[in-house]
């Protein structure tokens, strides 16, 4: 298998970060334009309006668990450990992040958001276990 295939899910995750930045910018602009907020309110999240603070929180989420995803993808590539299983796991992780972001930025239903988060967490954990087993030459 082509080891560079692991970079496609990484690029998809990076795209999600940019999408969330665009959504945040649009919501902040709309809040100021409508009079819901003043520009100075964006200095701290405690004074940011609800319409955009959720997006800012989601953006923070994109730099938490996904950091382990990026590290894993690079480790898989460096160890020549990319195969169909690991590639599928990484795509499932990315899809779970898109679902998580969609829920967070729309209905924000906590139960659904939590399920998508846990799915990504478990899938990522399986990827790390697979890498460890590969490095131990068990698989």
Q: What average pLDDT is seen over the chain?
A: 95
Instruction: Return the pLDDT at 40.
Output: 86
Domain 3-135, what fold?
Answer: 1.20.120
Instruction: Return the pLDDT at 93.
Output: 98
Instruction: Return the pLDDT at 48.
Output: 86
Residue 135: partners with Cβ closer than 8 Å, 6 or more residues away: 79, 81
- Residue spans of the domains in the chain: they are 3-135
The C-alpha angle 87, 105, 117, rounded to 5 degrees, equals: 40
Burial class of residue 112 in the structure, from the number of CB atoms within 10 Å of its CB (0-12 exposed, 13-18 middle, 19+ buried)? middle
User: Is residue 50 pLDDT above 80, yes or no?
Assistant: yes
Percent of the chain with pLDDT strictly greater than 90:
87
Instruction: Find the mean pLDDT for residues 57-85.
Output: 97
Residue 50: partners with Cβ closer than 8 Å, 6 or more residues away: none
């Amino acid at each position: 298998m082509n080891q560079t295939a692991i970079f496609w899910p990484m690029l998809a995750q990076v795209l999600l970060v940019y999408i969330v930045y665009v959504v945040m910018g649009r919501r902040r602009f709309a809040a100021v334009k409508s009079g819901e907020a003043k520009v100075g309110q964006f200095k701290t999240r405690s004074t940011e309006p609800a319409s955009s603070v959720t997006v800012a929180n989601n953006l923070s989420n994109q730099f938490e668990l996904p950091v382990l995803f990026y590290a894993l993808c690079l480790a898989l590539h460096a160890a020549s450990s990319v195969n169909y299983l690991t590639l599928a796991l990484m795509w499932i992780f990315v899809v779970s992040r898109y679902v998580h972001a969609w829920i967070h930025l729309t209905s924000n239903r906590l139960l659904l958001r939590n399920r998508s988060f846990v799915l990504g967490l478990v899938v990522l954990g399986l990827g790390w276990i697979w890498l460890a087993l590969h490095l131990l030459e068990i698989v």
